[in-house]
Structure 1
């Protein structure tokens, strides 16, 4: 029964929400393979192109805590309809951006609008699972969610590569079917979902008419996290130590985040209830999740650029190179849930990070001649570690809290995950571009000795990628160390 006492098909409702979530996840995962193409079409550098991912992740992170308020305040059916429309509008704006340097801002704005919708979709789906399924059924529902969300990194890059490769071979026949085409499939999926939602969706989450949004907290979180990330994204162009574009935004952002934290701990009804961190295992789980996300997202976004710019691969080939590893995330997500129930989070998290570290170490020593099959195997090992970590960590975070705090815990945990993704991408992109800028040869050499200039430019690129992958390795090592501090938890589902 829904909140009005009317019957409904919960599995049909769940599947419909999964489809919408898949469309949103594809918006997050498809762009990595397309970055080199976008750089050429819009005549932008790597740092500028990466803004499409960085600001997507930031907008997503800002909206996640807002979702806790929206879910409690508005009927589920109305909220989902508005969210799906917002996502479709953002995708359309991005897909139909003219290929001009001056129009790049329009492309990014479309990404931000879509991200705002995705930031609502993910927590909404998790909270819906908690409300419509019993404790015994949640593990299956969470596993299916992990399968769908985990499969998008597999489907997205490969699909993007195939589309871009086809556009390359048939440009005379498909003038518009280039990078824009990668957004058409999510658009079609969302249109179908929008048509079915009025008939299938129900109000399944109780609302609180008296709850109010703390506008000051929203402003503090938006400006705090926005300035913090802006400083990191500017490193690639201005370098570390630049006062106004790097140091000032980062420091100011941290100060505002501090004010935001203080406010959440002192007001009766916080915008983001940080009191959930009083639970030791929730805190450790959140930190390890942050490290896993930063280790995964940064390297995941840099590899397609490395494969295409250094190895000269097509977009399709780079997507296929990473396909096996991405598939393992989706396949292992339900299995990881079972392993969590059997072994507990501490042993599973330690094993996951050991695998992640083992798969990441070789990336720090990549060369221009590293065989593609070796990269595929290493990436697959990395993603097995990620798959063993992420879904069990998310489940463990909820198990560490009493039922009354699960909505706030979901918002906090998802916020941490998305911020980690955003910062991870910004850090590795800025580090890569900064190393390349520092080591690239003087442009005058290109006219004196073009071959030597090309060789030195390639060496500079490789140094940038190697340093970036080393940073990704450091995130994984920190995650392993933190995982050692898990305390023995109650039996899974004890506080459900």
Structure 2
């Protein structure tokens, strides 16, 4: 890709390769914050003297805050210049990470720690769509696949690396190039903070205004409906793993209330001349089909990705670090294949690539439907790595295809809708597989009195019940992949659209 002789909206030359590199650099550090605390919860419980449910607030509120910001990103990207919004997002992220990193380790300071996580999450919710819209605007359709493949490093690889990196940090002190990396929980935040500070310093020089600002006004009612609606909806699905589907107060009510408010949001957007979130992008069949396929790939990825560490720790008895290391090869291969997928998208087209990707994903998931206690860790490493190759071949190419389905002036709205769909799919997929696992375990677990009468028999039967739960959950994950494969046959590559008389978007 040619990275010189490009001009921003003010007619000033800029180096788009350096601009993309800095945006990827900063967003990668932000994405690490999404999953990095999962492995650190036991340490945080000790230093802050809190229980598990309280510690999980750090993750729950991060997910909710970042998800709420994604729909709002469309308005922000139109209202502010790319340079302004990037700098604001980076400073917000640095502030949030710093608050959590330097929070005194005292029980009564825990809320300050969570507040820092929320501030960081607000930035993350904007940075992901912003990176996507930058790519759409600085690369044309022929080059966009490769650039979006690089974005796949951020979307897929960084969250997968988060738990492993945290486990490595907490395991012991490390010496790299003569520098000692402390195993303090604060180090989890120091490393991304250093990256973000560098991004803040370089942004005024490398991040240029590649999108014209629009004179848009904020529809406050839409903002409230979006924030509260998506917040309640995702909160309900987040609570499923701990409270089950039947809990009226924490699961059913939030989900139903969220659906109602989101419905009102959609109704209002269709009646606004300048909508807060333009859902009319779904009028494009091509955009709708590719977004739905992307949702299925996200559910297949995140659902199994969140279940495997639990399986490895509960069944195989691995530590948090070892379970993270087991999944590391898959994360690395996804990072390796994401740019390759971008090149393949440009050459082979979306249909053939998506069929191949979902087929590989399904083949890699089938063995998980038959796992038992004797399944080796090596088998899991190989099959998980195969799954992640399949994910890499479909996730960002589908996103690229969805953006190509819309005219450039609708790219901002399409990006916000696409990223919102990905956030919702991630939460829903995880909730479905987690709840299925727990329900199967509850139905098959041995009687409580057996725990006292024959502890060994109880442990053996409970382990078998757990295996049944994991197997059923993985079968559902396989179902997501098969549905995606079926849908792939409905997608059309550029040459097919031209043949059918549809032309290019």
**TM-score computed with the length of structure 2 as normaliser:** 0.87
State whether residues 58 and 419 of structure 1, in contact with CA within 8 Å, keep that contact through their aligned partners in structure 2.
no
CA distance in 1, matches of 2:183, 2:200: 25
Q: In the alignment, what sits opposite 2:354? A: 349
Q: In the alignment, what sits opposite 1:462? A: 467
- The Cα shift of 1:380 comes to 0.8
Q: How many residues align?
A: 490
- The Cα shift of 1:435 comes to 4.3
Q: In the alignment, what sits opposite 1:10? A: 16
- Greater displacement, 211-220 / 6-15: 6-15
Q: Which of 284, 289, 293 does residue 284 from structure 1 map onto?
A: 289
Q: In the alignment, what sits opposite 1:171? A: none
Structure 1 pair 492–351 and aligned structure 2 pair: CA distance change class (3 A): same
Q: Which of 234, 247, 252 does residue 247 from structure 1 map onto?
A: 252
State whether residues 172 and 182 of structure 2, in contact with CA within 8 Å, keep that contact through their aligned partners in structure 1.
no
Structure 1 pair 414–492 and aligned structure 2 pair: CA distance change class (3 A): farther
Unaligned runs of at least 5 residues, structure 2: 1-6, 175-179
Q: In the alignment, what sits opposite 2:177? A: none
Query: Aligned pair 1:411/2:416, yes or no?
Result: yes
How does 1:244-323 map onto structure 2 within 5 Å?
244-323=249-328
- The Cα shift of 1:285 comes to 0.5
Structure 1 pair 238–147 and aligned structure 2 pair: CA distance change class (3 A): closer
State whether residues 32 and 301 of structure 1, in contact with CA within 8 Å, keep that contact through their aligned partners in structure 2.
no
Query: Aligned pair 1:402/2:407, yes or no?
Result: yes
State whether residues 47 and 236 of structure 1, in contact with CA within 8 Å, keep that contact through their aligned partners in structure 2.
no
Q: Which of 332, 338, 346 does residue 333 from structure 1 map onto?
A: 338
Structure 1 pair 201–403 and aligned structure 2 pair: CA distance change class (3 A): closer
Q: In the alignment, what sits opposite 2:192? A: 186
Q: Can you list the C-alpha shifts for 1:33-69, whole angstroms capped at 9, x where unaligned?
A: 4456667777888777665445433332321221111
Q: In the alignment, what sits opposite 2:219? A: 214
- The Cα shift of 1:86 comes to 1.3
Q: In the alignment, what sits opposite 1:162? A: 168
CA distance in 1, matches of 2:52, 2:372: 20
How does 1:200-211 map onto structure 2 within 5 Å?
200-208=206-214, 210-211=215-216
Unaligned runs of at least 5 residues, structure 1: 169-173
Higher relative contact order (CA 8 A, sep 6+): 1
Q: Can you list the C-alpha shifts for 1:342-363, whole angstroms capped at 9, x where unaligned?
A: 3321222122112111111222
Query: Aligned pair 1:93/2:99, yes or no?
Result: yes
Structure 1 pair 45–235 and aligned structure 2 pair: CA distance change class (3 A): farther
- The Cα shift of 1:395 comes to 0.9
CA distance in 2, matches of 1:45, 1:455: 28
Query: Aligned pair 1:481/2:486, yes or no?
Result: yes
Q: In the alignment, what sits opposite 1:83? A: 89
Partner SS, residue 276 of structure 2: coil
CA distance in 1, matches of 2:43, 2:447: 25
Q: In the alignment, what sits opposite 2:128? A: 122
State whether residues 368 and 471 of structure 2, in contact with CA within 8 Å, keep that contact through their aligned partners in structure 1.
yes
Query: Aligned pair 1:22/2:25, yes or no?
Result: no
Q: In the alignment, what sits opposite 2:3? A: none
CA distance in 2, matches of 1:120, 1:46: 29
- The Cα shift of 1:394 comes to 0.8
- The Cα shift of 1:287 comes to 0.7
Structure 1 pair 441–181 and aligned structure 2 pair: CA distance change class (3 A): farther
- Greater displacement, 187-196 / 41-50: 41-50
CA distance in 1, matches of 2:475, 2:51: 22
